[in-house]
A and B are shown apart, each in its own frame.
Chain A
Amino acid sequence: MPQTPSLFSLSASEAIFRSVEWDKYKEIVEIGSGAYGRVFSAVNRQTNELVAIKTIKLANDEEGIPISVIREITHLRSLKHDNIVGLREVFINDDGCTLCMVMEYVPHDLSGIVNGLNNVLDEAFVKSVMQQLLSALACIHDSGSLHCDLKTSNVFIHANGQVKLGDFNLSRKVHPEEFGVVQHFSRNIITLWYRPPELLVDQFGSSRYGPEVDMWSMGCIFAELLLRSPLFPGNTEVEQLFKIIQLLGTANQRNWPDASKHQTYRDHFSNKVIPNTLRLKFKDFADYSPQIVDLLEKLLKLDPRERISAREALKHPWFNQAPLPKDTSVILPSYLTPFNENWVKQQIKLRQEEAEKQNPKKRKEYPKASTSSSCYNHHELENSYSSCKKKIKQY
């Protein structure tokens, strides 16, 4: 057996992975955990800035540093914008098994605000959130990237109303077409509820997609802010498509000529005519500006080519009308009681337990009904990610 050139013994190399970084922080408190690792909040000793430290377990027997982490860090590094979560530093722990990302701490997220805050979200607040989000998205799209996982639990918000877009685990660069790169696009991006129809009908994931997919998700977030509940809460891909078509009507030559090319679409909707009921659904918002529905319609176009871009959406007249974004009267609570995804999960769990106490038999009969209501979980995302990974492996 030939000698493999060896440079460092396995144990000696560990010393390089610094962990002195942890000394820079004080008041380290665990605030959450997930499949990837644990999240801590801490205070920087020098700047007194409150930061969130996300730790990611690196399993040695897998494919090195996960591709999702590399994606997230490279995107956060390259994008500098007021409305994108700031990455302070990245280091690897002494044991060499944990990657730590130090990010700015943003207490609330939109899913918490939508579900938890009792006062009305006034038009100015919605406008302010949308404006900040669109300007962040315009910056991302200008740099040739896609976010690919826009949803309310990925939009973080400070107590002063400043919005920060986060979670770039699935985002990717789009190369210009002529650059000779064959890109394999995965269809399994974007959490189901926010997934645009062109990805739902396309069985083989062969088509290219672009910034339009993010704009559809923006439309869903916009509607969710107004309705205070998700717009299309589907459990399966087909159900998701049904929910979309029920609201926006069946596709025809005018509003989505490509629809009939797709087998899935033909199977379910070829002989049906369903009218567009979007304006009917949002008639309750009559005291808001009528422009609101106009923008929503432009974001939720069935045909991806007709969907408005982030830059165009920022120029929409709604943003220049009174009430202006700064006039909001919504006051967010201080960071001690964060309204975020974890909080929503806890609430759902509490509600389930209460329901169980009241009628324990019912749960036994329909064990699935209760789990399907807890839709704010990461399973969807993780499933989509792992199947995406499988696809890549197969390829």
Chain B
Amino acid sequence: TPSRKDQLSENDETNLQLYACQLIQDAGILLELPQTTISHAQIIFHRFYMKKSMKEFCVRHVAMASLFISCKIQETHRSIFHFLQVFIDIIYPELYYISPDIVELLKSHLIRTERYILIELGFTFYNIELPHQYILFVMHILEGHEDLTQTAWNYCNDALRCSVLSLSAKPQVIACGAVYMSAKEHSRVLPENPAWWLLFNTTRDELEFVEKHIKEMYKRPKAVYLNVLND
């Protein structure tokens, strides 16, 4: 990736990715956005850093702008001031008084970064497909229980934080992987003969690939913000 070429260690890069995705998720919840908007934003975020380096663009600003664009695409519009308020609350929790200067500065960053992302990705957002719809479909076919679906849904949300999964895995594969993990956790037996995942053109290897990545992500310490920017 451009960040790695820019001499950023793999560990730091993953850490920043997870931090930003957590930031998007938290802000999305505070802004009462639907999960589709949040997941879209995470995918936009990952795509942008396939083209630009983290040393060049601040992950906080890109995370913020990704969510902002995602709101517009998904027709779940929020006012820019509400937006900035929420992000300032999360980024500077120790602040008692928010000066108008910070708001203005962050706003200009937001608007600028939004433009960079739109131009860099060439306004191609119609081809983003989320795995969540497949979860409901899989569960409908397998007649799974609600708790099984909920766990799978949560795994699915987490899977999109991992850049490898959200960029390279097919949404069907992520969905099946999430269901696979969910069934293990609830020790529920799903039909193996014929294997249920064949319905979605996936293999056991692919499911285990998804599982491996999600588990790896859980082993990591809590992601924190690092300032890696060039001057």
Using CB atoms and an 8 Å cutoff, list the residues of chain A in contact with chain B. Answer: 1-2, 4-8, 10, 13, 16-17, 58, 60, 63-65, 67, 70-71, 73-75, 77-78, 90-92, 96, 172-173, 175-176, 178-184, 392-393, 395
Contact = CB atoms under 8 A, between A and B. Distances in A.
A77 B130 CA distance: 19
A181 B115 contact: no
Contacts of A7: 56-58, 61, 109, 229
Interface stretch (B67-75, B159-167, B185-193): B67-75
B223 interface: no
B142 interface: no
A4 B106 contact: yes
B126 A77 contact: yes
21 contacts: A1-B99, A5-B60, A5-B227, A5-B229, A7-B58, A8-B112, A17-B119, A63-B79, A63-B80, A64-B111, A64-B114, A65-B72, A74-B125, A74-B126, A90-B122, A96-B112, A173-B75, A175-B36, A176-B133, A180-B34, A182-B34
Contacts of A393: 77, 79
B73 to A, nearest CB: 7
A92 B72 CA distance: 19
Nearest to B35: A180
Interface in B8-30: none
A67 B69 contact: no
Contact of B115 (A65, A71, A78): A65
Contacts of A92: 115, 119
Given A63-B79, A91-B119, 18 more contacts: A1-B102, A2-B92, A10-B108, A60-B108, A64-B72, A64-B80, A64-B114, A64-B115, A67-B72, A70-B73, A71-B72, A78-B126, A96-B115, A176-B133, A179-B36, A180-B34, A180-B136, A182-B34
Contacts of A13: 112
Contacts of A395: 77
Interface of B: 34-36, 56-58, 60-61, 68-69, 72-75, 77, 79-80, 92, 95, 99, 101-102, 105-106, 108-112, 114-116, 118-119, 122-127, 132-133, 136, 227, 229
A183 B60 contact: no
The 8 closest A-B pairs by CB, nearest first: A78-B126, A73-B123, A392-B77, A7-B58, A67-B72, A64-B114, A64-B111, A63-B80
Contacts of A91: 119
Contacts of B79: 63, 393
A10 B108 CA distance: 8
* Chain A binding surface SS class: loop
Contacts, number: 97
* Chain B binding surface SS class: helix
Given A7-B229, A70-B123, A74-B125, A178 B136 contact: yes
Contacts of A71: 72
A7 to B, nearest CB: 5
B1 to A, nearest CB: 18
Contacts of B101: 1
A7 B55 CA distance: 9
A96 B102 CA distance: 22
Nearest to A1: B99
Contact of A183 (B72, B75, B80, B109): B75
Contacts of A75: 126
Contacts of B34: 180-182
Contacts of A178: 136
B123 to A, nearest CB: 4
B126 A70 contact: no
B133 A179 contact: yes
Nearest to A391: B77
B118 A65 contact: yes
A17 B120 CA distance: 11
Contacts of B99: 1
Contacts of B56: 7
B105 A4 contact: yes
B80 A172 contact: no
Nearest to B62: A7
B95 A2 contact: yes
